[in-house]
A and B are shown apart, each in its own frame.
Chain A
Amino acid sequence: MQLEQILQYVFSGLSTGAIYALIGIGFSIIFNATGIINFAQGEFVMLGGMLTLFFLELLKLPLWAAIPCAVAVSALAGLLFERLAIRPLRQPTPINLVIITIAGSILIRGLAMLLWGKDTHAIPPFSGDEPISIAGATILPQHIWILGITLLVIAVNKFFFYHTISGKAMRACSYNRRAAGLVGIDVRRMVLFSFVISSVLGSLAGIIVAPLTMTAYDVGVMLGLKGFCAAIIGGMSSGIATVVGGLILGVLESLGAGLISSGYKDAIAFIILLLILFIRPQGLFGKAESERV
């Protein structure tokens, strides 16, 4: 096994890992604000890719205009999802929430299939596809875009949560919803916010990965699940731990696909998920919490 080859797997693993991290942060933002695992998170990833394609091809917008439009529509979809499906739920037990978010994901997927059909589509890479060679391995410009945008989003995220009033209010909700409500924070609005932010993050992930992997109405399922794995490895934190979780997952998956078997690529992620859930449900970096009754 050549060193260059391993380096190659690591590079491509890092860029898919960055995508998982973005999706995973979306999961943990909603989880921290509401205690909900949003099974529809992957559908927002799909919406990002498909909407960008829609604005590019049907409305003939240039890429720089199509992307914000796609993100905006996804954000609106996230908002509607919270208002129409999550908030009206009369018995928000964990099982009901799991079922309602699964129902939402099926519905969104079905609508996308009706609107855009079952074909897979390609989005052109943001800046050509001339490979760049680094230390014997090659990477595509899109890989750099992915890593760059992910880093930027994480920086913005950090700034939002620690240096703006809304961000601080959302963090307060995640520590203790009741106390946050008592000091005058509109908890319901923060919940709505968390859905909007995570649908924005999801759709961004979908947009930047689409030029590499193609997009279709049903790509959200797998990507969403991988994002969840990243969030679990990171212990459901919306910060650097999830990013590291995503990168670890991406690299392991890429090495596994290259060195063991590409058919079992997706299984690797789920075996890691199961192992983490069994051994350290609080995540690789989290502190063990005693069970509260």
Chain B
Amino acid sequence: MKRELLKFVFFAALIFAAPLAFKDSYLMNVLVFVGINTMLAVALNLLLGYAGQISLGHAGFFGIGAYLSAILTATYGWNAWLAMPLAALAVGMLAGLIGFPILKLKGHYLAMATLGLGIIIYIVFNETIDLTGGPSGFSGIPNLTFGSLVFDNDIKNYYLVWTFALAVVLFSVNLAGSRVGRSLRAVHDSEVAARAMGVNARLLKVQVFALSAVISSLAGSLYAHTMTFISPASFGFNFSVELLTMVVIGGLGSVYGSFLGAALLTLLPELLRGAQDYDIIIYGGLLMIMVMFMPGGLARGIPDLFRRMTRIREGAGNA
């Protein structure tokens, strides 16, 4: 556990020092997204990587968090710090309620059911125009404030979002190493064996589903308050797939891997701006290559590659 803590302190220091190296405001803005996507990827990874339950509907929970925050603050004038936890609570309750029937399903069926759920949520965003503004979006969401501090520029938002993201990372690392984390992995490997050992697999799956949804909702609220504008397009099926890609590319069951996946998939389109129409192909190709050749993702793939390369070099030296 001590080693985990050291790893986290190092990671946090790196994140907090990063803005010193970059003065570019545009890049800072992208790094804010990396933070939000890290939260989402870590949340999905708890469900997919640890408990082994797939979800193709997480963009929906992200969206509900964003819209609830937006509606409560901009339309009804609530304090954002009150709206955010309330949104998260509502999403958690919704996920818990839906979780019971939905998590009875396995594999492909679960994928399809969560996908259907995500699409229904997306359609509701589009159709409840009085509430959400429909396809043209929702603007004028207030920034978060803390006393006299208003989070209205990229550097402030960076520290705001990453404070949350680091909290989520720390929480997940702790959870993964705890008794609950071990139960989750047991459910992943064999639900029957886990049950035989006294794990309430059904309840545990629903709990982790709800937890994952709550974190996604928080990420959504942060997204709404930093962007000040949201539209349904950000919360559709494609984004759910993008989140899945982040988790898989980063490595299932690795918290820092999820960060790597989120960072890579957020930065990549920015690096490839000239090739904007190609990014969909790159996503698809990358996802395919990773599943085929690096099933452990970057988190396990990079050390493996490194080890193999040094072994080859040693072999060459001996010969």
Residues of B close to A281: CB separation below 8 A:
105, 109
The stretch from B10-18, B89-97, B263-271, B284-292 touching chain A is B284-292
Within the assembled complex, what's the spacing in Å between the Cα atoms of A138 and B291?
A: 50
B116 adjacent to A261 (CB under 8 Å): no
Please name the residue on chain B nearest to A231 by beta carbon: B112
Partner of B111, one of A90, A98, A108, A111: A98
B115 touches A (CB below 8 Å)? yes
Which of the residues B120, B248, B283 comes within 8 Å of A267, measured between beta carbons? Answer: B120
Least CB separation from A38: chain B residue: B108
B34-42, B122-130, B140-148, B172-180: which lies at the interface: B122-130
Cβ of A103 and Cβ of B291 under 8 Å apart? yes
Stretch at the interface among A61-69, A199-207, A247-255, A268-276: A268-276
CB-CB under 8 A from B107, the residues of chain A are 94-95, 98
Closest CB-CB distance, A140 to chain B, in whole Å?
Answer: 27
B108 touches A221 (CB 8 A): no
B235 at the interface (CB under 8 A from A): no
Q: Quote the shortest CB–CB distance from A8 to chain B (angstroms).
A: 24
- Which residues does chain A contribute within 8 Å of B101, judged by CB atoms? 278
Beta-carbon contact of A110 and B113 below 8 Å: no
Q: What are the residues of chain A within 8 A of B288 when measuring CB–CB? A: 85, 100, 103-104, 107
Q: Is A109 positioned at the interface, with any CB of B under 8 Å from its CB?
A: yes
Contact present for A107 and B123 (CB under 8 Å): no
Interface residues on B, range: 35 or more
Interface majority SS (helix, strand, loop, mixed), chain A: helix
Q: Which residues of A contact B109 (CB under 8 A)?
A: 277, 281
Q: Are B237 and A221 in contact (CB under 8 A)?
A: yes
**A90 touching B292, Cβ below 8 Å:** yes
Query: Does A113 belong to the interface (CB within 8 Å)?
Result: yes
Cα-based distance from A174 to B252 in the complex (angstroms): 31
- Is B278 within 8 A of A110, CB to CB? yes
In angstroms, how far is the closest chain A Cβ from the Cβ of B212? 15
Task: Decide yes or no whether A263 CB sits under 8 A from chain B.
Answer: yes
- With contacts A104-B284, A106-B287 known, is A99 near B119, CB below 8 A? no
Query: A293 — which chain B residues lie within 8 A by C-beta?
Result: 192
Q: CA of A267 to CA of B127 in the docked complex: distance in angstroms?
A: 11
Judge whether A102 and B241 touch: CB under 8 Å. yes
Known contacts A94-B107, A277-B113: does B119 contact A100 (CB below 8 Å)?
no
Residues of B within 8 Å of A114, CB to CB, are 277-278, 281
State how many angstroms separate the Cβ of A180 from the closest Cβ of chain B.
22
Q: A98-B111, A103-B288, A107-B285 are in contact. Are A90 and B123 (CB under 8 A)?
A: no
Contact with B along A216-233 (1 / 0, CB 8 A): 000001000100100010
A225:B287 contact, CB within 8 angstroms = no
A270-B126 CB under 8 A given contacts A94-B107, A96-B291, A111-B281:
no
Tell me if A37 is interfacial: C-beta within 8 Å of chain B. yes
Q: Please, how many angstroms separate the alpha-carbon atoms of A114 and B278 in the complex?
A: 8
Contact with B along A76-118 (1 / 0, CB 8 A): 0000000001001111001111111011111111110110000
Contacts of A100 in B (CB 8 A): 287-288, 291-292
Q: Are B123 and A267 in contact (CB under 8 A)?
A: yes
Q: How far is the CA of A102 from the CA of B277 in the complex (A)?
A: 19
Verify A106–B108 contact, CB threshold 8 A. no
Chain A nearest CB: distance from B280 CB in Å? 4
- Interface assignment of B106: CB less than 8 Å from any CB of chain A: yes
The verdict on A264 contacting chain B, using a C-beta distance below 8 Å, is: yes
Any A CB within 8 A of the CB of B19: no
Nearest-Cβ distance from residue A291 to partner chain B, whole angstroms: 10
- Give, as a whole number of angstroms, the nearest-CB distance from B67 to chain A: 16
B residues whose Cβ falls under 8 Å from a Cβ of A: 48, 52, 54, 101-102, 104-109, 111-113, 115-117, 119-120, 123-124, 126-127, 192, 237, 241, 244, 248, 252, 277-278, 280-281, 283-285, 287-288, 291-292, 295
Can you report 5 residue pairs joining A to B where beta carbons are below 8 Å apart? A85-B292, A91-B295, A99-B291, A102-B244, A104-B284
Besides A107-B281, A281-B109, 20 new A-B residue pairs in contact (Cβ under 8 A), listed by A number: A36-B108, A85-B288, A89-B292, A94-B108, A100-B292, A103-B285, A106-B241, A106-B287, A107-B288, A109-B280, A110-B278, A110-B284, A113-B277, A228-B112, A263-B123, A264-B127, A267-B124, A273-B113, A273-B116, A278-B101
